[in-house]
Copies of this chain bind each other. A is one copy, B any other.
Amino acid sequence: MSQVNAQSGSEQPRRRGRPPVAPADQAARKALMRAGLVHLTERGYSSVGVDEILRTSGVAKGSFYYHFGSKAAFGSALIDAYHAYFAVKLAAWFERPDLAPLDRLRGFIADAELGMAQHGFRRGCLIGNLGQEMASLPPEFSDRLIAVLEDWQHRTAACLRLAQEAGQIPAHHAPDELAAFFWIGWEGAVLRAKLERKAEPLRQFADGFLRLVTH
């Protein structure tokens, strides 16, 4: 623990260059991120205040601004963390050699349903929630949100391409189009599952998609 809030002498390019912080600070950052994730997946960005994040996390205001500088930067960090978390989850499912390609997608869908069920279907997708609020968001958010959805789409297209090569999806379908279609509709399914507080909309969309693309 030799580097407690040590400030490097040189100008660092953005947050990535920031020097390591003490474990207590790391814990505060984690608590803020966790509280932010809960609030923003439940209620979105604009109706959640920094004070609320502080109350839930038990972290002091100074620590919030030390770590993030602003609510917008905090939101950006949450988008990045959420993106990274789901990129790992998608990769884990889509690269499973023991499953046929479409079963990998089925696995991801079942996993996502489980994730929503664990929180009583109160939490939606951070990206979908923020997408819905575009008019109230910092303008730089929209490009990030679109990029996240496109990354998920590309990963899904690769899986669907494998499914087509394996004969699970007829040749007349275009995997890229199917993947775009899936993510457009899946965000609607997450929204509806949150509204109805149940899994059925996720299943209706997923079953419909899988039935349609296999014909």
Contact = CB atoms under 8 A, between A and B. Distances in A.
A177 interface: yes
Interface string A138-154: 00001001100100000
Contact of A187 (B47, B188, B213): B188
Interface of A: 42-44, 46-47, 122, 124, 128-129, 131-136, 142, 145-146, 149, 177-178, 180-181, 184-189, 191-192, 194-197, 201, 204-205, 208-209, 212-213, 215
25 contacts: A43-B133, A43-B135, A43-B136, A44-B46, A44-B133, A46-B46, A46-B47, A47-B136, A128-B188, A129-B132, A132-B132, A132-B194, A134-B195, A134-B197, A142-B196, A142-B197, A146-B196, A177-B204, A180-B208, A181-B208, A181-B209, A184-B185, A184-B201, A185-B189, A212-B212
Interface SS, A side: helix
A129 B188 CA distance: 11
Nearest to A213: B212
Contacts of A132: 44, 124, 128-129, 132-133, 191, 194-195
A137 B128 CA distance: 18
